[in-house]
């Protein structure tokens, strides 16, 4: 996805092959969007949230199947999120922060369980923020964590 001059997102998806320096167009996303978060879990590429139209953020979630070059909808997130952070840990997807709308930032964290296709709010960040970068971090085996860096609401 990306954003057009009129502010709407697009559904275009492309794959880059760095060995041959070539681009291939893939099946388009089901809804046009920009500002989504993307991750890989299992054999699927998940695209969550983003800016769906020139007036709204979305909570929609899509999964791209690499084998079939096709997209399917998954359960929507609890909250609409533009430019959230995303991380995969222990077989689940975590989505952090993001923007609900103008001057409305989230500090909530949502967790997605692909086994039951369900989201739930699982925690809060200390600071509301968007445009995040996240990585899973496991210093001790019993203490998985997500490291977050990114813009806060101010």
Distance from C-alpha of 130 to C-alpha of 61, rounded to nearest angstrom? 18
pLDDT digits (tens, 9 = 90+) for 17-55: 999 999 999 999 999 998 999 999 999 999 999 988 766
CB of 126 within 8 A of CB of 96?
no
Strand boundaries in 42-125, DSSP class E: 44-48, 51-53, 56-57, 61-65, 70-74, 85-89, 92-96, 99-101, 104-105, 108-113, 118-124
Distance from C-alpha of 47 to C-alpha of 95, rounded to nearest angstrom? 11
- Is it the case that residue 91 has pLDDT exceeding 50? yes
pLDDT tier at 69, thresholds 50, 70, 90: very high
Q: What structural domains and CATH numbers belong to the chain?
A: 14-152 (2.120.10.80)
Strand partners, 15: 24
CB of 49 within 8 A of CB of 82?
yes
pLDDT digits (tens, 9 = 90+) for 107-138: 999 999 999 999 999 999 998 988 888 888 77
- Is it the case that residue 76 has pLDDT exceeding 50? yes
In this structure, what are the phi and psi dihedrals at residue 124, rounded to the nearest 5 degrees? -140, 145
Q: What angle do CA 112, 117, 119 make, to 5 degrees?
A: 35
Distance from C-alpha of 9 to C-alpha of 30, rounded to nearest angstrom? 12
């Amino acid at each position: 996805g990306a954003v057009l001059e009129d502010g709407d997102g697009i559904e275009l998806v492309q794959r880059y092959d760095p060995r041959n320096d070539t681009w291939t167009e893939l099946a388009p996303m089901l809804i046009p969007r920009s500002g989504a978060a993307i991750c890989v879990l299992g054999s699927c590429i998940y695209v969550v949230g983003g800016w769906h139209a020139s007036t709204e953020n979305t909570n929609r979630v899509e999964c791209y199947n690499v084998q079939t070059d096709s997209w399917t909808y998954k359960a929507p997130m609890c909250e609409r999120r533009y430019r959230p952070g995303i991380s995969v840990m222990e077989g689940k997807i975590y989505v952090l922060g993001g923007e609900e709308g103008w001057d409305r930032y989230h500090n909530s964290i949502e967790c997605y369980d692909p086994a039951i296709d369900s989201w739930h709010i699982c925690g809060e960040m200390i600071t509301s923020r968007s445009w995040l970068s996240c990585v899973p971090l496991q210093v001790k085996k019993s203490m998985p964590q997500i490291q977050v860096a990114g813009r806060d609401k101010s």
